[in-house]
């Protein structure tokens, strides 16, 4: 199944952002330099499942650029993973929600939790307006910056988002805003690729939460996807216990589980040293995040 992260535009964006990009047998590998070393580590995200022959080609490519390993996270629910791979640390969540856009509007509404239907009506009653406006990137970034600071999660920096938007806008990426009384309360970047729409990035204001703008935003972007002839709305990620997961779940989507995350070691000693430092880094980051949560309360 094709995915925007395997698109030519995504590769061009990552190259401008400082990564090396390889195309090997129709697979797109993004290489990141390991700080203070001459080595690179690759990621192959949201692709098909590579074959043993593909893995051999990946190894040849890696040796050309000092690659010590590749993390592979297929966008597939089923399939046999070839020998030679080891379990890796996940990058995306192993599950997502898919909303079936082939259903009628009435059926989509019936499948929702009653709370979601109610929230959509509340937003409509307050005359919240949802519309696409690709000139509003600065507003999106302001809301994204405020959202990540308010909620204490790790997100990409402004350069990352600006370069992504530069390469994907009007081709894959579309920016929708929710407006209430001339104030933008939410801004989402939606991807459309093939017959699937995706919700990868969303930001919102802490003001006027009572008008339920995000609920109407999800509903209207789903209807937009239907009008574009798309069959599925990928709500991009599930994490148990998280508020954004409960929000998505109430719209009645199907839970989808992918085959998992695997690594292809190229230089075994350097690869396992990388895994050790990766583990320690995330232990430190998780501890800092936990402390920040305690301080916030």
The CATH number of the domain where 225 resides is what?
Answer: 3.40.630.30
Q: Within this chain, do residues 107 and 166 fall inside the same structural domain, yes or no?
A: yes
Q: Within this chain, do residues 140 and 211 fall inside the same structural domain, yes or no?
A: yes
Domain boundary among 178, 211, 230: 230
Q: Specify the pLDDT at position 292.
A: 52
Per-residue pLDDT band for 169 (boundaries 50, 70, 90) equals very high
Q: Within this chain, do residues 183 and 76 fall inside the same structural domain, yes or no?
A: no
Q: Are residues 143 and 189 in contact, defined by beta-carbon separation less than 8 angstroms? A: no
Q: Is residue 96 part of a domain?
A: no
Residue 240 has pLDDT above 90, yes or no: no
Instruction: With both helix axes pointing from N to C terminus, report the angle between 158-168 and 137-151 in degrees, rounded to the nearest 10.
Output: 140
Question: Which residues does residue 67 pair with via DSSP β-bridges, in sequence order?
Answer: 40
Q: What is residue 18's DSSP assignment? A: T
Q: Is residue 183 part of a domain?
A: yes
Q: Is residue 128 part of a domain?
A: yes
Domain boundary among 193, 212, 230: 230
The number of folded domains in the chain is 2
Q: Within this chain, do residues 116 and 217 fall inside the same structural domain, yes or no?
A: yes
Show Cβ contacts of residue 213 under 8 Å, excluding neighbours closer than 6 positions.
123, 128, 178, 180, 185, 186, 204
The values of phi and psi at residue 136, to 5°, are -100, 30
User: 29-63 pLDDT, tens per residue?
Assistant: 999 999 999 999 999 999 999 999 999 999 999 99
* CA neighbours closer than 13 Å in the CB half-sphere of residue 247: 18
Report pTM: 0.92
If you average pLDDT over residues 242-263, what whole number do you get?
95
Domain around 208: 102-230
Q: Within this chain, do residues 194 and 291 fall inside the same structural domain, yes or no?
A: no
- The rounded distance, in Å, linking the Cα atoms of 192 and 228 is 9
Q: Specify the pLDDT at position 295.
A: 43
CATH number of domain containing 30: 3.40.630
Per-residue pLDDT band for 237 (boundaries 50, 70, 90) equals confident
Q: Are residues 68 and 270 in contact, defined by beta-carbon separation less than 8 angstroms? A: yes
Q: Within this chain, do residues 107 and 200 fall inside the same structural domain, yes or no?
A: yes
If you average pLDDT over residues 169-191, what whole number do you get?
97
Q: Is residue 218 part of a domain?
A: yes
Assign 3-class secondary structure to 183-199.
EEEEEEEEEEECCEEEE
Q: Within this chain, do residues 107 and 76 fall inside the same structural domain, yes or no?
A: no
Pairing mode of beta strands 40-45, 67-73: parallel
Percent of the chain with pLDDT over 90: 87
Encoded tokens for 45: 């995200």
Pairing mode of beta strands 27-33, 20-24: antiparallel
Q: Within this chain, do residues 78 and 190 fall inside the same structural domain, yes or no?
A: no
Q: Within this chain, do residues 130 and 225 fall inside the same structural domain, yes or no?
A: yes
């Amino acid at each position: 199944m094709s995915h925007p992260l395997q698109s030519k535009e995504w590769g061009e964006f990552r190259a401008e952002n400082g990564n090396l990009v390889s195309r090997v047998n129709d697979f797109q590998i993004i290489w990141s330099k390991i700080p203070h070393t001459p080595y690179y580590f690759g990621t192959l995200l949201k692709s098909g499942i590579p074959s043993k022959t593909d893995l051999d080609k990946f190894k040849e490519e890696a040796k050309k650029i000092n690659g010590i390993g590749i993390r592979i996270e297929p966008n597939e629910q089923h399939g046999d993973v070839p020998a030679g791979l080891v379990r890796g640390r996940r990058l995306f969540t192993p599950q997502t929600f898919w909303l079936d856009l082939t259903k009628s509007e009435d059926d989509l509404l019936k499948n929702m939790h009653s709370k979601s239907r109610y929230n959509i009506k509340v937003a409509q009653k307050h005359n919240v307006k949802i519309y696409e406006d690709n000139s509003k990137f600065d507003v999106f970034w302001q809301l994204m910056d405020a959202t990540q600071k308010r909620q204490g999660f790790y997100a990409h920096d402004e350069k990352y988002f600006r370069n992504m938007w530069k390469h994907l806008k009007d081709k894959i990426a579309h920016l929708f805003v929710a407006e209430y009384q001339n104030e933008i309360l939410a801004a989402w970047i939606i991807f459309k690729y093939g017959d699937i729409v995706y919700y990868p990035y969303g930001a919102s204001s802490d003001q006027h939460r009572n008008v339920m703008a995000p609920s109407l935003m999800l509903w209207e972007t789903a209807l937009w996807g239907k009008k574009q002839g798309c069959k599925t709305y990928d709500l991009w990620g599930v994490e148990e216990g998280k508020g954004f997961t409960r929000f998505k779940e109430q719209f009645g989507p199907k839970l989808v589980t992918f085959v998992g995350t695997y690594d292809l070691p190229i230089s075994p000693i350097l690869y396992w040293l990388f895994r050790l430092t990766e583990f320690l880094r995330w232990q430190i980051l998780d501890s800092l995040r936990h402390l920040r949560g305690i301080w916030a309360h």
